Amino acid sequence: MGDLHLSSSPHFSFKLKTQYIMAAVIIALLPECVAGIVFFGWRAAVTIFVSVVSCVLFEYLFQRATHQKILIRNLSACVTGIMLALVCPPSVPFWTVIIGSAVAMIFAKGVFGGIGSNVFNPALTGRAVMFISFPSAMGAKWLAPHTASAVDAISSATVLSGLKSGAVDSIDYLQYFLGNKAGCIGETSVLLICISFCFLLVCRIIDWRAPFGMVFTVIVCAFFAGISNGIISAFDEILKNLLTGGIAFGACFMVTDYATTPLTKTGRLVFGAGCGLITFLIRKFGGYPEGVMFSILIMNSIAPFLNNLTVRKYGYGKVVKKGGTR
């Protein structure tokens, strides 16, 4: 007889194989990779390559060193590598990407037991360490679209920092929707991210609830933040929040991660709403222009609590009275 494993609820199983899921996510990430290379040139391509190779290598070395089964064929390390690269600025030094990959694969994933056991999103954890440890490398210089040289990055800034400081008052919504703006490699084109989101939904790889909760909460917060200056200002605030920064990318690829987000339907909605609220609060009142990374990592930490809070307890149900109420 096989071993009997006991664990606390909730208990869920996934019918799709890990390799199939990861392959589908890689396909969904390809448009963002291509767009990043088109907008930012060879640096984006090399950054993606370095990140993927580093993540695969670190996972292999860790599993080999700890005498675990080698699982690099399931493509999860490739997904982490691509995501880590896409949430980095195109001017990021390659050595920082290697450090971020090590943090993602060893400390955020490996030490927790590998795929499916990690508490925090590996790619975002790697980026957070890079951002905190090397702030000048991660945010001081930004490449404007169609500039392949790091020299051109000095005069370019993210739209979010400009909006927060007041240097940027209005934006070209169409160009920003298409992705023609300074930003992280894979976060610029909201159009392509929406296409990838629809692809993952059709393939039943992701659930819509967490992304909906996140985006809807940002919309509500932005509306009330701008309504004091009129309805036009409210909608302008909404579009500025949705078309800049990493909300679209985070909603599509980060809050839909199986391991680090709640398993229950209600839990996913609450999780997404929490991400949206924290993101908006950091953008509006925090010391950083962007809050997507921090919001998702914070909500990752309470995902197990949301599971236990929202799972349906065995033996409890809705009482239906026959013959009408009394």
Tens digits of pLDDT across the chain (326 residues):
445 444 444 444 444 688 999 999 999 999 999 999 999 999 999 999 999 999 999 999 999 999 999 999 999 999 999 999 999 999 899 999 999 999 999 999 999 988 888 999 999 999 999 999 998 888 655 566 655 544 444 334 466 666 665 656 667 889 889 988 878 999 889 999 999 999 999 999 999 999 999 999 999 999 999 998 889 989 999 999 999 889 999 999 999 999 999 999 999 999 999 999 999 999 999 888 889 999 999 999 999 999 888 877 654 455 444 444 44
Alpha carbon distance 301, 67 (integer Å): 28
User: CA–CA separation, 82 vs 70, rounded Å?
Assistant: 20
Give dist(CA 292, CA 81) in Å, integer: 19
CA separation for the pair 100, 134 (Å, rounded): 11
Q: Whole-model pTM?
A: 0.86
